[in-house]
Amino acid sequence: QLQLVESGGGLVQPGGSLRLSCALSGATLNYYSIGWFRQAPGREREGVSCLSSAGGSTNYADSVKGRFTTFKDNAKNTVYLQMYSLEFEDTAVYYCAASFGFLCNRLDADSTIWDYWGQGTQVTVSS
């Protein structure tokens, strides 16, 4: 059974940084594209980033381009979301999800694309 476990969330001041981790168990990361999503209270879930299974394709939401980077460590079977210059608007629960076959040629939060989801980790940007 494939499982995703996010970690690394917390409270950070505006302008600060956080690194989120998404650890995959029960399968090899090489076969899955990993998306990061977030959902703030009262708002719909939105795509943040996508990293293709081969690692050759990434996609970012316009709101995070230049501030967030996603990358993976195959040896640790873990995908990361490095977040810099955090803003109040980045406050949300962040989720990672795995898809077998999605090419990450776009950001898409459609639940039919993503086969597995993590439980989420809270990121709060506050002064």
The per-type count for the chain, helices as H runs and strands as E runs, is 0, 11
Span 8-35, average pLDDT: 96
CA distances from 96 to 15, 55, 126, 127 (A): 23, 16, 23, 26
Mean pLDDT of the chain, nearest integer: 95
Task: Look at residue 1 and tell me whether its pLDDT is greater than 90.
Answer: no
pLDDT score of 55: 73
pLDDT of residue 111: 84
Pairing between strand 68-73 and 33-39? unpaired
Q: State the pLDDT at residue 23.
A: 97
pLDDT digits (tens, 9 = 90+) for 53-94: 987 799 999 999 999 999 999 999 999 999 999 999 999 999
Tell which residue, 124, 48, 60, has the closest CA to residue 86: 124
Tokens linked to 45: 């879930």
